[in-house]
A and B are shown apart, each in its own frame.
Chain A
Amino acid sequence: MKNPFKKKNKLYLSDKQPLTPLGVVGLGLTYLVLAIWVIAILWPLAQMIISAFNGKQEQYIMLNDNFEFSMEHFKYLFSETLYLTWVKNTLFISITTAIFTLIMVSFTGFAYSRYRFKGRKASLMAIMLIQTIPTFAGITAYFTMHSIISSIAPWFTRQLMLILIYSGGGIAGNTFILKGYIDSISSELDDAARIDGCSSMQVYRLIIMPIARPMLAIIALWSFIGPFMDYLLPRVLLTNPKSYTLAAGLFTLISDFRTLNQPAFAAGGLLTAVPIVTLFIVLQKQLVSGLASGSVKG
Chain B
Amino acid sequence: MEKSRIFLYDDIGNSYDRKNKYLLELFTLEEQYKRADAKGKKVIKHQISKLKQNKKKHPYIIALEQFIKDEKNFLLTLNSKKKTYMQNLDSNMPGRLKKIKLNLFDAQEKVDFYKKYVDLSYDAELAYRQNQIIVSQLPDIITLYETTVSELNLAKVEKSKLVRNQVQEQVTTYKTRKREEHKHYIEAKQALQEKKKTGLISEKALRNGIVELKAKRKEINTLNAFEIDSKANKELIRNKKYILSKGIKLQLNVLKSNLADIRRKVPYETEKALPLVSFLTIPFPGLGQVFNKQYFKALLFALATVFIYAIAIPYALGFGNYQGDGISGLISLAQEGRKIDKSLIFMIEGVVAIFLVLISIALYLISFVDVFSTERAKIKGIRPKNWYETASKLEHESFPYLVSAPAFLVTIFIVLVPITTTVLLSFTGMDPKNQSKFGWESISNYKLIALGEGLAGSVFWSILAWTLVWTLVATSMAILTGFILAILANNDRIKGKTFFRVVYILPWAVPAFITIMFFSIMFSPNGALTTILEGVTGLRVQVKNDPLLTRVALIFLQTWLGSSYVFLLSTGVLQAIPGDLYEAAQIDGATAWQKMSRITLPIVLFQTAPLLVGQYTFNFNNFSIIYLFNGGGPFNPSKYGNLAGSSDLLISYIYKLTMENQYQAIGAAITIVISMGLMFFAFLGFKNSKAFKEERL
Q: Is the CB of A133 within 8 A of B513?
A: no
> Assuming A61-B521, A168-B415, A296-B607, is B667 touching A140 (CB within 8 A)?
yes
Pick the most buried of B500, B518, B621, B668: most chain A CB atoms within 10 A of its CB: B518
Within the complex, the shortest CB–CB distance from A146 to chain B, in Å, comes to 11
A186-229 at interface with B (beta carbon < 8 Å): 199-201, 204, 228-229
- The answer for the CA separation of A215 and B103 in the assembled complex, in Å, is 51
Contact residue range for chain A?
35 or more
Question: Is B693 part of the contact surface with A, judged by Cβ < 8 Å?
Answer: no
Q: Counting CB contacts under 8 A, is A70 at the interface?
A: no
**Least Cβ distance of B514 to chain A in Å?**
4
Would you call B232 an interface residue if the criterion is a C-beta within 8 Å of the partner chain's C-beta atoms? no
Q: Hey, which chain B residues are within 8 Å of A25, CB to CB?
A: none
A37-73 vs B, CB cutoff 8 Å, 1 = contact: the mask equals: 1101110110110000000000011110000000000
Interface residue B614 (Cβ < 8 Å from any Cβ of A): yes
Q: CA A281 – CA B682 in complex, angstroms?
A: 31
Binds A, one of B43-51, B186-194, B196-204, B484-492: B484-492
- B344 x A144 contact (CB < 8 A): yes
A185 interfacial contact with B, CB 8 Å: no
- Given the known A-B contacts A104-B406, A134-B621, A171-B410, are A62 and B527 also in contact in the complex, defined by CB atoms under 8 Å? yes
A34 near B345 with CB under 8 A, answer no
B-contact 0/1 string along A108-124, CB 8 Å cutoff: 10111011010011001
A262 within 8 A of B: yes
Contact of A115 among B345, B399, B406 (CB under 8 A): B399
- Enumerate chain A residues within 8 angstroms of B419, measured Cβ to Cβ: 133, 137-138
Taking the complex as formed, is A265 at the interface, i.e. its CB lies under 8 A from any CB of chain B? yes
**Contact present for B519 and A44 (CB under 8 Å):** yes
Judge whether A269 and B418 touch: CB under 8 Å.
no
Chain A CB within 8 A of B397 CB: yes
Residue with the highest number of chain B CB atoms closer than 10 Å, among A48, A63, A134, A141: A141
User: Taking the complex as formed, is B375 at the interface, i.e. its CB lies under 8 A from any CB of chain A?
Assistant: no
Tell me, yes or no, whether B517 is within 8 Å of chain A by CB: yes
With A61-B527, A175-B407 as contacts: A134 and B399 at CB distance below 8 Å: no
Residue from A140, A250, A262 in contact with B513 in the complex, judged by beta carbons closer than 8 Å:
A250
Q: How far is the CA of A33 from the CA of B417 in the complex (A)?
A: 51
Which listed residue, B344, B521, B610, touches A254 by the CB 8 Å rule? B521
Residues of B close to A262: CB separation below 8 A:
521
Tell whether A92 is near chain B: CB-to-CB under 8 Å: no
Closest-by-CB residue of B relative to A297 is B691
Q: Which of A42, A44, A140 contacts B344 (CB 8 A)?
A: A140
- Which of B396, B517, B532 makes the CB contact (< 8 A) with A250? B517
**Contacting pair B511 A273 (CB below 8 A):** yes
Chain B residues within an 8 Å CB radius of A47: 518, 522, 528
CB contacts under 8 Å to A, within B473-524, are: 485, 488-489, 491-494, 500, 502-515, 517-522, 524
Question: Contact residue range for chain B?
Answer: 35 or more
Q: Give chain B nearest CB distance to A183 CB in angstroms.
A: 7
Whole-angstrom distance from the CB of A63 to the nearest CB of chain B? 4
Whether A292 lies near B617 (C-beta < 8 A) is no
Given A34-B485, A41-B504, A288-B572, verify A134-B678 contact (CB < 8 Å). yes
Known contacts A136-B671, A231-B628; is-contact A265 B697 (Cβ 8 Å) = no
Chain A residues with CB under 8 Å of chain B are 16, 19, 27, 30-31, 33-34, 37-38, 40-42, 44-45, 47-48, 60-63, 103-105, 107-108, 110-112, 114-115, 117, 120-121, 124-125, 128-130, 132-134, 136-142, 144-145, 147-148, 151-152, 164-165, 167-169, 171-172, 175, 183, 199-201, 204, 228-229, 231-232, 236, 247, 250-251, 254-255, 262, 265-266, 269, 272-273, 276-277, 279-281, 284-285, 288-289, 291-292, 295-298
Q: Which 10 A-B pairs have the closest CB atoms?
A: A138-B418, A168-B414, A280-B509, A111-B400, A141-B418, A107-B403, A63-B528, A132-B682, A269-B514, A141-B421
| 21 contacts across the A-B interface (CB closer than 8 A) | A34-B500, A37-B485, A61-B527, A108-B404, A111-B403, A112-B404, A136-B621, A137-B418, A137-B672, A137-B675, A140-B421, A144-B344, A171-B410, A200-B399, A250-B513, A254-B521, A266-B518, A272-B511, A273-B510, A284-B509, A295-B610
